[in-house]
Amino acid sequence: MSVAEFNKEKFIDSLSNIQGVSDKFTASTFANLHIFLSLPSTNQTLWQLIDSGNPSSIVIASQQTAGRGQWGRNWQSTVGGLYMSIAIAKSNTITPNISISQTPQLTLSSAWGIASSLRNYGVPVEIKWPNDLILEHKKLGGILTETRIHKKKISQAVIGVGINWANSVPDTGINLQSYYRKQSKSEIFSLEMLAAIVFHGLDSGIKQLLESGIESILPSYQQLLINIGQQVVVEDRIGTIVGVTTNGELRVKFNQDSASPLTQPQISSSEIFLKPGTINLGYGQPLPGSR
């Protein structure tokens, strides 16, 4: 597949047609939008733009040659997908007022906002903790959050999003075009329309976080979480995922009889909190005990 140029005007038209989007927001987006055919990484390019005096930029590429996922993993970014990064903090200001330990809140809020936005267009997206967008038990997309810190607060942040539209995907992935081929109708008609929906969802999620806090998002995030009720093994004990903390940690509850005398001293609490990156929850069909 050849690299097709992303249509900036089509994206802006799609954005202006989303309910609740103001003309001022659309004009601001147009002014700060940077489109590329191919990049090593949209996040990397956006950081370069920020450093050159463009703190509110948005970067979209038709292809990434060195895309990254969470924890340094390679993100397959072939032609036909949506690859977008946005800056959410202005240079030299401490916005948002979030501590280092609360960095995962940015990812949770983004995932919730994007999933909710796509669901409004008939795509039943769910979330796999903490940052993956799931459709029919397969990965539709993911989110990479990168931050800079000043006085123990986040001063600048870049959020990168990859969504599978018509690109090739691994066995654990799915793209929207293959999903729509099995449906009677589709409500998203182009890559540019998808980009507008995803951008609006991400922006809405971050605004909700900054204005009302993670507590206003967490219940809805957990309703979309496929991992609730899933059984996991932690240090030889079987536990059940029961939720997520306000700092983005996974809550795992153990049954009274789930530990042997040898393993009990290692985990004394009946409930523990796991930080992102400390456990692999996998993909595919729901595990026994999950919803």
Query: What's the CATH code of the domain at 204?
Result: 3.30.930.10
Same domain, 74 and 215: yes
Global pTM value: 0.88
Rounded Cα distance, 259 and 239, in Å:
10
Please state the length of the chain. 291
Same domain, 41 and 168: yes
Q: Whose CA is closest to 290, among 172, 116, 137?
A: 137
Q: What is the pLDDT of residues 161-186, one digit of tens each?
A: 999 999 999 999 999 999 999 999 99
Query: Which helix (H) or strand (E) element contains residue 231?
Result: strand 231-234
Identify residue 61 by its one-letter amino acid code: A
The percentage of residues in the chain with a pLDDT greater than 90, rounded to a whole number, is 63
Same domain, 185 and 46: yes
Beta-bridged to residue 84, according to DSSP, are: 60, 161
Same domain, 185 and 88: yes
Instruction: State the number of CA atoms in the 13 A half-sphere of 243 facing the CB.
Output: 8
Same domain, 192 and 93: yes
Same domain, 124 and 263: no
**Strands 33-36 and 58-61, sheet pairing:** parallel
Same domain, 170 and 39: yes
Domain boundary among the residues 223, 243, 258 is at 223
Where in the sequence is the domain holding 258, given as residue range(s)? 227-291
Same domain, 211 and 247: no
Q: CA geometry: angle at 126 spanning 124 and 130, to 5°?
A: 160
**Residue 62 pLDDT greater than 70, yes or no:** yes
What total number of domains does the chain contain?
2
Decide: 6 and 35 in contact? Cβ < 8 Å: yes
pLDDT band at 150 (very low <50, low <70, confident <90, very high): confident
- Within a domain: 3: no
Chain-centroid distance of CA 137 in Å reads: 16
**Residue 269 pLDDT greater than 80, yes or no:** no
Q: What is the pLDDT of residue 203?
A: 92
Q: What is the pLDDT of residue 190?
A: 96
Same domain, 238 and 128: no
Q: Can you tell me whether residue 250 is helix, strand or coil?
A: strand
Same domain, 161 and 196: yes
Q: Mean pLDDT in the chain?
A: 86
- Within a domain: 55: yes
pLDDT band at 266 (very low <50, low <70, confident <90, very high): very low
- The mean pLDDT value for 65-79 works out to 64
Q: What is the pLDDT of residue 67?
A: 58
Neighbours of 225 (CB within 10 A): 25
Domain boundary among the residues 223, 239, 264 is at 223
Domain boundary among the residues 223, 240, 269 is at 223
Same domain, 124 and 33: yes
Same domain, 12 and 124: yes
Least confident range from 8-12, 23-27, 107-111, 158-162: namely 23-27
